[in-house]
Chains A and B, each alone.
Chain A
Amino acid sequence: MGEPIDCRQAAARLQDYLKQELTPELAAEMRAHLERCRPCFAHARFEQRFLIMLESRARKCGCPGTLRARIESLLRAEMESD
Chain B
Amino acid sequence: MAEPSTAGRPFDADALPHLDALYRVALRLTGDPTQAEDLVQDTMLKAYRAWRQYRPGTNAKGWLLTILRNTFINDYRRRKLEPVATDLEAVEPHAIYRAVEDVDPEGAFFSKIVDDKVLEAVDALPTEFREVLVLSDMEGMRYGEIAEALKVPVGTVKSRLFRARRLLQASLYNYAVETGIIPPREDHDG
Contact = CB atoms under 8 A, between A and B. Distances in A.
Main secondary structure of the interface of B (DSSP, over half): helix
Contacts, number: 100
A70 B45 CA distance: 12
A68 B100 CA distance: 43
Nearest to B142: A21
B110 A21 contact: no
Interface of A: 15-16, 19, 21, 42-43, 45-47, 49-51, 53-55, 57-58, 60-64, 67-68, 70-72, 74-75, 78-79, 82
30 contacts: A15-B158, A15-B165, A43-B97, A46-B101, A46-B105, A46-B107, A49-B107, A49-B108, A49-B110, A50-B165, A54-B168, A55-B137, A57-B115, A58-B134, A58-B137, A58-B138, A60-B115, A62-B19, A63-B22, A63-B23, A67-B23, A67-B40, A67-B41, A71-B16, A71-B19, A71-B44, A74-B44, A75-B11, A78-B45, A82-B1
B37 A64 contact: yes
A42 B168 CA distance: 20
A42 B105 contact: yes
Contacts of A15: 158, 161-162, 165
B31 interface: no
B19 A70 contact: no
B12 A72 contact: yes
Given A53-B110, A63-B20, A71-B41, 4 more contacts: A49-B111, A67-B37, A68-B19, A75-B11
